[in-house]
Structure formats: structure tokens, C-alpha cells
């Protein structure tokens, strides 16, 4: 590196060099850990003797500002923060608002979670080992070539037209969603879609209804925006629609694979929900987070397909079907919402990165997405069947599976004698990660049980892991 040192005259050169280096260190221009040039090199750069530089370095070392490492060189020493005369931070005028956001912790806050267990039944995590990295790499290379040729410098907040077209075709085929590319908004994951919809629809005090138990990040988002949240209980048919309160402005549901219990919303209840939303003038957010995977029975179309009044915003994600790292999601919005959400998106972060959008559009149009889903479907089906067979056999005295036919997690309700929190704690001691249903409830009585994801655990690991769970349950009994 070349330092910006300015020496004047030919006297007191070591002192000048010392003072300028010390000032650079004290001001932070030379950060801790920065390597200084060797004495011979710096002397040549400054046109002074090597002895002059060595003397300055020696004084800085004596002051504990420099440290030498044998065989490596001379480095700026770590500095302790200055304590004297420090100004005390003031309490900001917006402290109450800041505190409201600080309280919005979720069960998915990775900073508070322990390291994954050897056998981990975490929900919502896809099988990364199955991802077609070679095909994705080719699509990224296509995107880079496309970027070189693209004359535009601005991109639509709604998303690239080719990706919106690809998404519209995919969800029409896979989920029966009725839409065109003009209705699709590309987002950075489904969570951004929820945020944008809530941002344009919710004001402090707005009434929002969502399932109980339900998806904690959605709950925390609505609360952070000042909503009054109604926790609507669910039964075997899904959300108890008749309990949705008057004045509700927004209804959040997971009708195809209720999160976290897993049961689908019945046809009768779906029609009742749409009628209730139309009566209230409320928007329904349909979060269809993992329903490309269905295992038996006729495929149920998305709730959005039944909508005749423009009250459903359909939200989907590629984090479950592909990779969470992509942070790619989408929303199909009714005409009444589209313009407002586009404005909010533009003011928020302009648009999603264009390179992943081009790559994903190519990935879908070349058929890689459907092939990947079919491949993962076989893998998830085998894992699911193995877990269900164990729940029906040696784990039956303690756990009962909740009927479900979609997604890549299932829930199991615990018998009255099972202390679920103690079970999850003891299971971690034997390197098994299982997760309680309790954090997903707010007001409804907690139904003791486990959420068992099978996206991240290999088929051959399921039996050894559940053997340890069984042994733990026996010891607790």
C-alpha cells in the first residue's frame, strides 16, 4: 500500500513521520489490523533513509500503536474505544416506535436459535441436495449475457415481463390460479409481498384477522404496522370464518395447507370465506407457500380461482420449491390493489435484482422447475410415508398425525401425558431437532404437539432419529 505522507524540509523527518502516522491511526484512517509497508519500501517511497522510518515505527510500537509479527510484517494494533469525555446518546423522539419494532421477534429469529441438530425435522426447509445447480448455473450465465445486451438501465418495479409471464403460466398449470402476467408482482420472497400488501392497506388500528395457530412472521408484521389482530381459531375444515369480526380490513389464510397444522380448508369453508370477505370489503391474502407438493386425492385449486369479486391476493414463493437463498417470491393481485402496491414497491427498493429474474424466467421456461418439483415430490413422498408409518406404529402411544395431503411438513398431536417442551429439550441432547407447536398459538388453547419437517432430513436418517425420539418418550413415561 502507499501512504499519503507529506514531509517538509530535511530536518525532523522522523518526528514528522511519527506525528502523521499517529494522526492517521487516531482518526481511524489507518484501521486496526492494517499492514504498514516495510521500512525499506516506505523509505524509498518517501525519499528518506531507512533509519528515519525505523525510528518512527519504533516510537509508534512503544506507544502500543504498532505491533510486529515475525515473518509477516508490521500492523496497526487494536485500539480500545476512548472513554473520556464521551457524549451520552440522547433518547430519540421516536423511541416508542423503535421499541414497538424491537418487540417484533419471531420463532424464526436465527440469531436466537441453536445450531441445527444432526437429525433435524425443521419445517419450511427444502432439500438443497436435490437442487439442479448445473442447470441454474447455465441460466445465470444466460442472464449475464442478457444483461450485457440489455440497453435499458431501469427495470419495472412489478418485475421483468418474461418472468411474470413464466410465473403466470406455472401457477395456472400447477395451482389453477386465474391470472395473466399483468397481474403478477415479483418480490424478494413471500414476506416482502406480505409487507407491501399490508403497507398499502393497513393503518394503525386497522382490524386484521388471521388463523390461530398461524404463521408468526405474518402476525408480527401486521402488529408492527399497528393493526388490531384478531386470532381466529381453526378446526378440521380450516379457519372458522363465521367468527371473523365486523370491521375487518384484511384476512390472512393458508387454505391449501394450514400452517402449521396442515389440514386443507374445505370447499364449503372456502366459499364462506369469500362471501364474508365480499360482505366486509376485506382483502384475503392467500399464502400458498408449499402446495406444489400433493400426495393423494384430487388436487384442490387455489382459493383465488374461486374469487369472483377481486378480494383475493395470491402469494407464492420459490424459497420452498427451489432455494431460500434466492429470495424470490410473487403475488397475484386484484386490479384494485395493483397500482398502489407497485408504487409502494418502487418507493421501497425499486425492483428485485434483474439477473436472478432473467435466470429464473429461463429456468422455468426451459422446464427445469417442473422437473425439479417432480423429482422432489418423489423424495418428499417417501420421507412423509416413513414418518407416518412410524407415527402409526411404535410412536402411536404418544403422537397422532394431523391429516394432511400437501407440503413438506406435517404436525403430530401429543397425548395428554407428554410434556412436549421437555421432549424437545431432551431430544436435542440426543442430536434430534423436533419443534413444538406452542409458539404458533396466540389466543386459542394450545394443542400440544410437534411440527415435523421432512425437507431437510434424508430418508435414511428418519428411522435413527425417530428411534431416539421413541426412546426419549419411553424414558419420560
Alpha-carbon distance 214 to 443, whole Å?
11
> For the domain that residue 205 is a member of, what is the CATH number?
3.40.640.10
Q: Is the dihedral of CA 141, 146, 147, 148 positive or negative?
A: positive
Interval 332-350: pLDDT, tens: 999 999 999 999 999 999 9
Give the model's pLDDT for residue 110.
46
How many structural domains is the chain composed of?
3
In a domain, 349, yes or no: yes
Q: What is the mean pLDDT of residues 341-363?
A: 94
Give the model's pLDDT for residue 168.
97
Lateral strand order in the sheet of 73-76? 35-36, 73-76, 66-69
Query: Do 168 and 203 share a domain, yes or no?
Result: yes
Q: Which residue has the cell 450485457?
A: 148
Alpha-carbon distance 228 to 207, whole Å?
5
Give the model's pLDDT for residue 100.
80
Whether residue 238 is predicted with pLDDT greater than 50 in this model: the reply is yes
Q: Spell out the alpha helix ranges (H) of 150-206.
A: 161-175, 189-201
Closest CA to 15 of 46, 81, 60: 60
Interval 419-434: pLDDT, tens: 999 999 999 999 999 9
Give the model's pLDDT for residue 111.
45
Residue after which a domain boundary falls, among 367, 390, 425: 367
Query: Do 147 and 67 share a domain, yes or no?
Result: no
Alpha-carbon distance 14 to 424, whole Å?
66
Give the model's pLDDT for residue 89.
80
Which residue segment(s) compose the domain that 398 sits in? 110-125+371-476
User: What is the number of other CB atoms lying within 10 angstroms of the CB of residue 282?
Assistant: 20
Give the model's pLDDT for residue 109.
54
Query: Do 336 and 423 share a domain, yes or no?
Result: no
Q: Which secondary structure element, helix H or strand E, spans residue 219, and what is its range?
A: helix 216-224
Query: Do 138 and 237 share a domain, yes or no?
Result: yes
pLDDT classification of 367: cutoffs 50, 70, 90: very high
Return the C-alpha cell found at 339: 397500482
> For the domain that residue 17 is a member of, what is the CATH number?
1.10.10.10
Query: Do 233 and 318 share a domain, yes or no?
Result: yes
Query: Do 332 and 455 share a domain, yes or no?
Result: no
In a domain, 356, yes or no: yes
351 and 152 in contact (C-beta within 8 Å)?
Answer: no
In a domain, 94, yes or no: no
Whether residue 121 is predicted with pLDDT greater than 70 in this model: the reply is yes
Whether residue 86 is predicted with pLDDT greater than 80 in this model: the reply is no
Query: Do 230 and 318 share a domain, yes or no?
Result: yes
- Give the single-character DSSP code of 379: H
In a domain, 468, yes or no: yes
329 and 315 in contact (C-beta within 8 Å)?
Answer: yes
The residue with greater pLDDT, 88 or 311, is 311
Mean pLDDT score of the chain: 91
Question: Residue 346 contacts by C-beta under 8 Å, 6 or more apart in sequence?
Answer: 157
Alpha-carbon distance 227 to 250, whole Å?
10
Give the model's pLDDT for residue 315.
98
The residue with greater pLDDT, 378 or 150, is 378
- Give the single-character DSSP code of 387: H
Q: Are strands 449-453 and 435-436 parallel, antiparallel or unpaired?
A: antiparallel
Amino acid at each position: 500500500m502507499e501512504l499519503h505522507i507529506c514531509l517538509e524540509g530535511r530536518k525532523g523527518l522522523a518526528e514528522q513521520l511519527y506525528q502523521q502516522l499517529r494522526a492517521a491511526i487516531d482518526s481511524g484512517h489507518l484501521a486496526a489490523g492494517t499492514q504498514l509497508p516495510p521500512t525499506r519500501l516506505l523509505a524509498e517511497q518517501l525519499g528518506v533513509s531507512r533509519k528515519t522510518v525505523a525510528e518512527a515505527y519504533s516510537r509508534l510500537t512503544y506507544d502500543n500503536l504498532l505491533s510486529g509479527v515475525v515473518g509477516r510484517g508490521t500492523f496497526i494494533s487494536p485500539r480500545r474505544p476512548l472513554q473520556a469525555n464521551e457524549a451520552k446518546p440522547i433518547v430519540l423522539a421516536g423511541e416508542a416506535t423503535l421499541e414497538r419494532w424491537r418487540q417484533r421477534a419471531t420463532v424464526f429469529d436465527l440469531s436466537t436459535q441453536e445450531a441445527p441438530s444432526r437429525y433435524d425435522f425443521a419445517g419450511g426447509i427444502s432439500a438443497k441436495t436435490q437442487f439442479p445447480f448445473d442447470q441454474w448455473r447455465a441460466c445465470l450465465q444466460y442472464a449475464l449475457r442478457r444483461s450485457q445486451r440489455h440497453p435499458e438501465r431501469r427495470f419495472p418495479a412489478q418485475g421483468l415481463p418474461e418472468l411474470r409471464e413464466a410465473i403466470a403460466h406455472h401457477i395456472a398449470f400447477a395451482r389453477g390460479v386465474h391470472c395473466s402476467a399483468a397481474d403478477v408482482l415479483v418480490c424478494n420472497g413471500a414476506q416482502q409481498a406480505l409487507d407491501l400488501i399490508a403497507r398499502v392497506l393497513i393503518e394503525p388500528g386497522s382490524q386484521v384477522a388471521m388463523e390461530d395457530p398461524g404463521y408468526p412472521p405474518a402476525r408480527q408484521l401486521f402488529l408492527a404496522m399497528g393493526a388490531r389482530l384478531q386470532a381466529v381459531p381453526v378446526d378440521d375444515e380450516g379457519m372458522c370464518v363465521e367468527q371473523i369480526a365486523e370491521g375487518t380490513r384484511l384476512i390472512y389464510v393458508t387454505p391449501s395447507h394450514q400452517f402449521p397444522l396442515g389440514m386443507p380448508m374445505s370447499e364449503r369453508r372456502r366459499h364462506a370465506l369469500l362471501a364474508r370477505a365480499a360482505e366486509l370489503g376485506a382483502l384475503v391474502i392467500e399464502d400458498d407457500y408449499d402446495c406444489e407438493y400433493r400426495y393423494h386425492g384430487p388436487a384442490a385449486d387455489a382459493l383465488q380461482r374461486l374469487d369472483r369479486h377481486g378480494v383475493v391476493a395470491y402469494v407464492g414463493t420459490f424459497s420452498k420449491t427451489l432455494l431460500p437463498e434466492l429470495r424470490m417470491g410473487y403475488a397475484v393481485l386484484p386490479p384494485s390493489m395493483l397500482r398502489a402496491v407497485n408504487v409502494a414497491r418502487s418507493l421501497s427498493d425499486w425492483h428485485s435484482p434483474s439477473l436472478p429474474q432473467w435466470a429464473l424466467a429461463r429456468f422455468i421456461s426451459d422446464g427445469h422447475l417442473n422437473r425439479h418439483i417432480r423429482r422432489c415430490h418423489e423424495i418428499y413422498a417417501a420421507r412423509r410415508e416413513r414418518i407416518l408409518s412410524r407415527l402409526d406404529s411404535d410412536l402411536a402411544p404418544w403422537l397422532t398425525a394431523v391429516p394432511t395431503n400437501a407440503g413438506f411438513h406435517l404436525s403430530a398431536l401429543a397425548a395428554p401425558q407428554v410434556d412436549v417442551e421437555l421432549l424437545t429439550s431432551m431430544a436435542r441432547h440426543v442430536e434430534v431437532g423436533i419443534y413444538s407447536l406452542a409458539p404458533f398459538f396466540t389466543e386459542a388453547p394450545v394443542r400440544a404437539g410437534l411440527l415435523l419437517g421432512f425437507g431437510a432430513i434424508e430418508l435414511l436418517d428418519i428411522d435413527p432419529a425417530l428411534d431416539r425420539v421413541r426412546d426419549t418418550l419411553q424414558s419420560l413415561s
